[in-house]
């Protein structure tokens, strides 16, 4: 009997072992998840129920943001570390990677929560490193890269610190148009312009006249430098932004800041300028009333950078909700942001701690037509500015002049039901606007995300977004009559001549968002940061949206790229003189 029991026990163990072997997962499984621009697809190979290798099979994520995030996550998971956090600045792309990995693990019949969440992080040693340079640039947006390049070309040893895992800042995600009076395309089109006219246009917002004078006199040289030295490609046409007296704004290839950042980055690599990402500067070092460096937090500890000059180019504070609300009570949770997540006012706050003066912090620019989830500025919404469109609320009524100031429209939207507006246009306006194919990816994403509809009737549009159907039809009928008669009886829309009558019809769901902060550190014409008594803080320079005073109450479209270029060049050259 005992012998028989031992045989049965042995057979049972053998069967269990055999079952265990059969249940081990081997092979490759595909995982998918939606990212910012489309699906992220991974091939995940398993060996004995453990992840062997993860390969990116397909992705259309942004080269400079999402792609970098995915590459970092791939490197991490293929090294055996499955503690995957979202990467700041690329939330949608990193979420998509993690969700695609989880999808593949589930398809393999395994518990993704156990695999992804139960791995302990290695205890890394806290390190304090110290380096010595001539110039340290804090921030790697357009102003930072430009100032670094000019400092290096002037003979300085330069390092750039960037708190995010990617470079580019707000410049990267902007249209990057550049306002330059008397530029080569104006000459080609016989457009009469001048430095004085440009100054007059910018000065209307009440900015510092001395800084504006420097901006205007150097604007064209800055554009030529970007074209000739940095090899930025400009399109063979100009854009006419509101507030400008003439058409003078150059458009980069692809209508995107990627053209500027990619070319500037290439130049930094050519010059051997080191850019340290994921290095978050938090304090200026001051000795004998002179700024002599910065302290920064890194992944493994702290970095102390000793320098003869510091240039702050950390951008504005458009992504800092508390700082925004402290300076403008109208900006609350109902107002999103178009800004890079790195725009949290770091440089401004660091300089204030050592006595730097600030100006115009309450001057905050809003943009009315942005993504309802991310706050991203929507170029599809430019139909309002080019072909013509109207804005209605959930009740189907117009509530503001569609070509009013950005702030007027933005606050108008804020106080509608759900703080949402619906922008409506027809096929004629669509064709005049030439939104496609330039912004086809954005357009398709909006359609897929059900934030934009293309329909054959107003009834269908109203049903799609739950807008009051009868009011909407009456609103459109009334607008078409007013446009025919050449007088908007409701809001005196300053440009008529278009109607909403030719199918298909389009309706875009949108919210307002913070677009630019005009205020920041007070500087002089040489880009020196000033203290509250108007004195130069030795060793400290600033450029770009970190500074204030140039744009006054309202930044004109395309002037910010002029600003970062002109004062980035000035800051870099002057900072290098201390080497």
The pair of three-digit structure tokens given for residue 154, joined into one six-digit string: 């002037």
Indicate the SS3 state at residue 575: helix
The pair of three-digit structure tokens given for residue 144, joined into one six-digit string: 């930072």
**What is the distance of C-alpha 74 from the center of its chain?**
23
Among 293-307, 375-389, 501-515, whose mean pLDDT is lowest? 375-389
Indicate the SS3 state at residue 470: helix
Structure confidence at residue 9 (pLDDT): 46
Catalytic, out of 384, 406, 407, 522: 406
DSSP letters spanning 148-209: HHHHHHTT--EEEE-SSSS-BHHHHTS---EE-TT-HHHHHTT----HHHHHHHHHTT---H
Structure confidence at residue 17 (pLDDT): 44
pLDDT in tens, 413-471: 999 999 999 999 999 999 988 888 888 999 999 999 999 999 999 999 999 999 999 99
pLDDT beyond 80 at 16: no
pLDDT in tens, 265-323: 999 999 999 999 999 999 999 999 999 999 999 988 899 999 999 999 999 999 999 99
- Residue 69 — very low, low, confident or very high, per pLDDT cuts 50/70/90? confident
pLDDT beyond 50 at 187: yes
Structure confidence at residue 76 (pLDDT): 85
Structure confidence at residue 265 (pLDDT): 97
Environment class of 63 (CB within 10 Å of its CB; exposed 0-12, middle 13-18, buried 19+):
exposed
CA 83, 84, 87 angle in degrees (round to 5)?
A: 140
Rounded Cα–Cα distance for residues 185 and 191 (Å):
8
Instruction: Please say if 406 is a catalytic residue.
Output: yes
Structure confidence at residue 79 (pLDDT): 85
pLDDT in tens, 6-15: 444 444 444 4
Compute the mean pLDDT over every residue in the chain, rounded to the nearest whole number.
89
Among 3-12, 35-44, 312-321, 554-563, whose mean pLDDT is lowest? 3-12
Rounded Cα–Cα distance for residues 242 and 246 (Å):
9
- Give the N- to C-terminal CA distance of the chain in Å, as an integer: 93
Rounded Cα–Cα distance for residues 172 and 265 (Å):
11
pLDDT beyond 60 at 334: yes
Structure confidence at residue 305 (pLDDT): 98
pLDDT higher at 2 or 244: 244
């Amino acid at each position: 009997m005992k012998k028989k029991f031992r045989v049965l026990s042995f057979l049972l163990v053998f069967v269990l072992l055999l079952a265990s072997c059969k249940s081990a997962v081997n092979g490759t499984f595909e995982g998918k998840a939606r990212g910012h621009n489309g699906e992220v697809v991974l091939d995940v190979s398993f060996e004995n129920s453990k992840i062997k290798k993860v390969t990116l099979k397909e992705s259309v994520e942004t080269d400079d943001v999402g792609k970098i995030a995915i590459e970092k996550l791939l490197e991490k998971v293929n090294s055996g570390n499955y503690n995957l956090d979202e990467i700041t600045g690329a939330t949608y792309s990193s979420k998509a990677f993690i969700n695609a990995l989880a999808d593949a693990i589930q398809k393999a019949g395994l518990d993704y929560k156990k695999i992804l969440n139960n791995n302990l992080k290695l205890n890394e040693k806290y390190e304090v490193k110290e380096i010595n340079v001539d110039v340290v640039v804090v921030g790697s947006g357009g102003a930072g890269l430009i100032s670094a390049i000019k400092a290096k070309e002037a003979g300085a040893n330069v390092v750039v610190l960037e708190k995010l895992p990617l470079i580019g800042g707000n410049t990267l995600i902007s249209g990057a148009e550049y306002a330059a009076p008397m530029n080569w395309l104006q000459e080609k089109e016989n457009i009469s312009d001048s430095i004085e006219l440009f100054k007059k246009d910018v000065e209307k917002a009440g900015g510092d006249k001395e800084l504006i004078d420097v901006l205007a006199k150097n604007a064209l040289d800055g554009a030529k430098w970007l074209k000739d030295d940095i090899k930025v490609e400009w399109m063979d046409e100009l854009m006419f932004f509101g507030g400008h007296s003439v058409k003078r704004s150059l458009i980069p290839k692809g209508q995107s800041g990627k053209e500027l950042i990619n070319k500037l980055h290439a130049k930094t690599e050519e010059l051997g300028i080191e850019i340290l990402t994921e290095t978050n500067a938090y304090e200026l070092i001051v000795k004998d009333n002179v700024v002599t460096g910065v302290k920064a937090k890194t992944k493994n500890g702290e970095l102390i950078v000793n320098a003869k000059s510091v240039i702050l180019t950390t951008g504005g504070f458009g992504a800092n909700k508390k700082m925004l609300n402290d300076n403008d009570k109208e900006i609350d949770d109902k107002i999103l942001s178009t800004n890079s997540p790195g725009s949290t006012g770091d440089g401004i706050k660091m300089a204030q701690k050592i006595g730097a003066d600030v100006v115009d912090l309450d001057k905050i620019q809003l943009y009315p037509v942005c993504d309802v989830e991310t706050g991203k500025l929507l170029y599809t919404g430019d139909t309002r500015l080019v072909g013509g469109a109207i804005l209605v609320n959930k009740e189907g009524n117009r509530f503001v002049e569609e070509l009013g100031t950005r702030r007027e429209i933005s606050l108008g939207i804020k106080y509608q039901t759900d703080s949402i507006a619906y922008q409506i246009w027809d096929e004629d306006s669509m064709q005049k606007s030439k939104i496609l194919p330039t912004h086809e990816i954005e357009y398709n994403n909006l359609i897929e995300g059900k934030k934009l509809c293309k329909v054959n009737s107003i009834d269908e549009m109203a049903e799609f977004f739950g807008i009051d159907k009868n009011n909407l039809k009456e609103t459109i009928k009334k607008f078409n009559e007013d446009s025919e008669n050449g007088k908007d009886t409701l809001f005196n829309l300053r440009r008529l001549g278009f109607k909403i009558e030719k199918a298909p019809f389009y309706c875009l769901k949108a919210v307002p968002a913070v677009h630019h902060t005009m205020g920041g550190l007070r500087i002089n014409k040489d880009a020196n940061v000033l203290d509250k008594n108007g004195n130069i803080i030795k060793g400290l320079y600033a450029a770009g949206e970190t500074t204030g005073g140039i744009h006054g109450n309202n930044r004109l479209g395309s002037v910010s790229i002029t600003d970062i270029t002109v004062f980035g060049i000035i800051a870099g050259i002057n900072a290098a003189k201390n080497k």
